[in-house]
Chain A
Amino acid sequence: MDHGISILIVDDELSVRDSLYNWFIEDGYTVECAEDAKKALSILESQDFDIILADIKMPGMDGMEMLRRIKSIKKDSIVIMMTAFATVDTAVQALKEGAFDYVTKPFDPDDLTHLIRNASKQITLSEENKILKDRVTALENVDNLIGNSEAMQQLLRDIQSVAQSNASVIITGESGTGKELVARAIHANSPRRFFPMISVHCGALTESLLESELFGHEKGAFTGAVYNRKGRFEMADNGTIFLDEIATISVKMQVELLRVLETKSFVRVGGTKEIKSDFRVICATNRDLRSMVDKGLFREDLYYRLNVVNIHVPPLRERTEDIPILAEYFAGKYCSAMGKPPVTFDPAAIKKLGEFPFPGNIRELENMIERAIVVGNGKRIQVKDLPIGTSSAGSSFESLEELEKNHIGNILEKYRWNISAAAKALKVDRVTLYNKIKKYGLNQNG
């Protein structure tokens, strides 16, 4: 029976460790042993175990102290306490400290089997719970696709139409436009919605890590591969796999990915058994994949395999009419999250937002509104609450000239266009300031 469940046995008695080790090994579990709490904690620093079976009475640090330490590091660890000296007090204390269960030695063979079976069920339930929570988040995220603009309405129609099919999708768009939200919306509206959507941020992983992440690995496949591990393709069985930043994957991974997409089967790193998985693939990129194909940086066959349907998410500057409704949505979201009363927007603040180019797109707008809710002290968000044109928004400007123009404009506003005072603050002479005002076309009316 290959459970894929790992157990750490902590007991100072060699005969107990050996007996438990043999018992669990014969049952198909992955087992490791530690002779004391110190060794166990050291093992736990580098490896994760599903179940920890620990003796209460041990020389040095006792089992109860070890339980507290384990729980402080990983709250949901399943720790079962064992002892030869059973008292109600210690049992109650162990359970209060967060132990999953408590058993006295020697066990009836049936008790041991049931104990581990219950713990395994708990692990399965926790995993299912996490998947369900992810699914709820995915469904909630669909509501986050907000906008009345024609561009947004078209995007929603595209999502509805593509969701019903099984076709591969490439979502293109600038950073911060909400490509992952679009992917979640497609998944949440598809027949696969009752199965997980698994996301992989390809750009964040090295080639070997990505390979192990996508295909999984067998125990001993490489240093640190202490357990068999399911890959993301395997986890996405019956569901959807979302490959973000697909343009960043290496040529070798492109070949591997193409093969998997064609056969829907793969072998774990270090394994020999072919694993089949039925998944839908959705990719996202902020780069021009077609041009990468032309330059030989991205395989053409993979491009066509992925690009069955292309959905483009427009940047915020191309749908500025959505900015007020988005701003209000984010304000409501953060007021609620922070326990603050609802706020409204000063018309000047809305106007200012509408004029801002938002190079970071919706993500930047969301951050801006969150900040305004935090720093604002009224029921109304004013222009001064928005980090537009202040140094904190510096990162929004790509060029030095843009930054300079914006900074000079702010200083002039601050000193009510008193040129001498503004020049002094800027530590330039008045002539230089006049030249800059002329160069950037700044004027008092904004």
Chain B
Amino acid sequence: MNYENITLIAFGLPDQDLLKAVAGVISGSLPLPLLLKSGYLDLSEFYDPARNQYNGNSILKKLDDDYSLDSSKTMGLFAVDLYIPILTYIFGQAHLNGNTGIVSIYRLTNERYGIGKNGRLLVGRLGKEIIHELGHMFGLIHCSDPVCVMRSSTYVEDIDQKESRFCKACRTILNTRL
């Protein structure tokens, strides 16, 4: 399957400079044309008052129903706290070999952890998470290479430890699927 592009749709993320910088990080690892779009989604139907969080599974399904294209990989970007029923929180989510994914900036900012703002770090974190989820969408599973972008990350520190690039093994698989 040859994909024409990667589409990033920002839902409630107005910072265009941040998105452009992130697009630059992604382009460094994925050689496909990148489209930046803005979208609107009423997130209230995905809100769980008991958890004060938003259901990632349901949002992903909504994106899959409304935005999925066979010719493109579509990534929804959010600013809300995402969860899935079994986990306390998630940074992002995508179906293996699927066409849509989601990532939230909510738990990627330094301010969330009581540390001073760091724009450069945020660009790196968001870029890596988007590339990671796109990797799943291209069929890659988690990697044991400590610096490969497909390494699983539980905490932001884990994201900082890895790089935005694919390791040789993941790159080889990815190249067959682009």
Q: Which residues of A contact B (CB under 8 A)?
A: 1-2, 13, 15-16, 18-20, 22-23, 25-28, 105-110, 112-113
* Nearest 7 CB-CB pairings of A with B: A19-B84, A28-B141, A110-B154, A15-B85, A19-B86, A109-B154, A27-B142
Tell me whether B93 and A22 are in contact (CB under 8 A).
Answer: yes
> How far, in angstroms, from A18 to B88 measured CA to CA in the complex?
15
- Indicate the member of B90, B95, B142 with the most A CB atoms within 10 Å: B142
> How far, in angstroms, from A16 to B85 measured CA to CA in the complex?
6
> How far, in angstroms, from A20 to B87 measured CA to CA in the complex?
9
List 19 extra interface pairs beyond A26-B96, A105-B86, CB under 8 A.
A1-B142, A15-B55, A15-B57, A16-B85, A19-B57, A19-B84, A19-B85, A19-B87, A22-B95, A26-B152, A27-B152, A106-B83, A106-B87, A107-B86, A108-B87, A109-B88, A109-B154, A112-B86, A113-B152
> How far, in angstroms, from A28 to B89 measured CA to CA in the complex?
21
Tell me whether A112 and B141 are in contact (CB under 8 A).
Answer: no
Least Cβ–Cβ distance between A444 and chain B, in angstroms:
81
Q: Does B143 contact A (CB under 8 A)?
A: yes
Q: Does B125 contact A (CB under 8 A)?
A: no
> How far, in angstroms, from A28 to B141 measured CA to CA in the complex?
6
Least Cβ–Cβ distance between B54 and chain A, in angstroms:
14
- Contacts A/B (CB < 8 Å), 5 sampled: A1-B141, A2-B141, A106-B87, A108-B88, A110-B155
Tell me whether A106 and B88 are in contact (CB under 8 A).
Answer: yes
Tell me whether B141 and A16 are in contact (CB under 8 A).
Answer: no
**Residues of the A chain whose Cβ atoms lie less than 8 Å from the Cβ of B87:** 19, 23, 106-109, 112
Tell me whether A27 and B84 are in contact (CB under 8 A).
Answer: no
> How far, in angstroms, from A26 to B136 measured CA to CA in the complex?
7
**Residues of the B chain whose Cβ atoms lie less than 8 Å from the Cβ of A1:** 141-144
**Residues of the A chain whose Cβ atoms lie less than 8 Å from the Cβ of B57:** 15, 18-19
| A-B contacts at CB below 8 angstroms, number | 62
Tell me whether B141 and A106 are in contact (CB under 8 A).
Answer: no
User: Which residue in A2, A20, A27, A113 is a CB contact (below 8 Å) of B86?
Assistant: A20
**Residues of the A chain whose Cβ atoms lie less than 8 Å from the Cβ of B144:** 1
Least Cβ–Cβ distance between A105 and chain B, in angstroms:
6
**Residues of the B chain whose Cβ atoms lie less than 8 Å from the Cβ of A18:** 57
Chain B: which residue is nearest A114 at the CB level? B154
Least Cβ–Cβ distance between A327 and chain B, in angstroms:
57
Least Cβ–Cβ distance between A351 and chain B, in angstroms:
68
> How far, in angstroms, from A105 to B50 measured CA to CA in the complex?
14
Chain A: which residue is nearest B143 at the CB level? A1
- With A22-B96, A110-B154, A110-B155 in contact, do A16 and B86 touch (Cβ < 8 Å)? yes
Tell me whether B96 and A25 are in contact (CB under 8 A).
Answer: yes
Question: Which chain B residues in 107-140 approach chain A with CB under 8 Å?
Answer: 136
Chain B: which residue is nearest A103 at the CB level? B86
> How far, in angstroms, from A446 to B136 measured CA to CA in the complex?
83
**Residues of the A chain whose Cβ atoms lie less than 8 Å from the Cβ of B152:** 26-27, 113
- Indicate the member of B83, B86, B90, B154 with the most A CB atoms within 10 Å: B86
- With A19-B57, A19-B86, A109-B87 in contact, do A28 and B154 touch (Cβ < 8 Å)? no
**Residues of the A chain whose Cβ atoms lie less than 8 Å from the Cβ of B88:** 106-109
Chain A: which residue is nearest B61 at the CB level? A18
> How far, in angstroms, from A25 to B152 measured CA to CA in the complex?
12
> How far, in angstroms, from A112 to B152 measured CA to CA in the complex?
12
> How far, in angstroms, from A26 to B96 measured CA to CA in the complex?
7
**Residues of the B chain whose Cβ atoms lie less than 8 Å from the Cβ of A28:** 141-142
> How far, in angstroms, from A18 to B61 measured CA to CA in the complex?
12
Chain A: which residue is nearest B84 at the CB level? A19
**Residues of the B chain whose Cβ atoms lie less than 8 Å from the Cβ of A22:** 84, 93, 95-96
> How far, in angstroms, from A107 to B87 measured CA to CA in the complex?
5
Tell me whether B85 and A13 are in contact (CB under 8 A).
Answer: yes
User: Which residue in B85, B95, B96, B154 is a CB contact (below 8 Å) of A105?
Assistant: B85
Tell me whether B136 and A106 are in contact (CB under 8 A).
Answer: no
Tell me whether B141 and A26 are in contact (CB under 8 A).
Answer: yes
Tell me whether B142 and A106 are in contact (CB under 8 A).
Answer: no
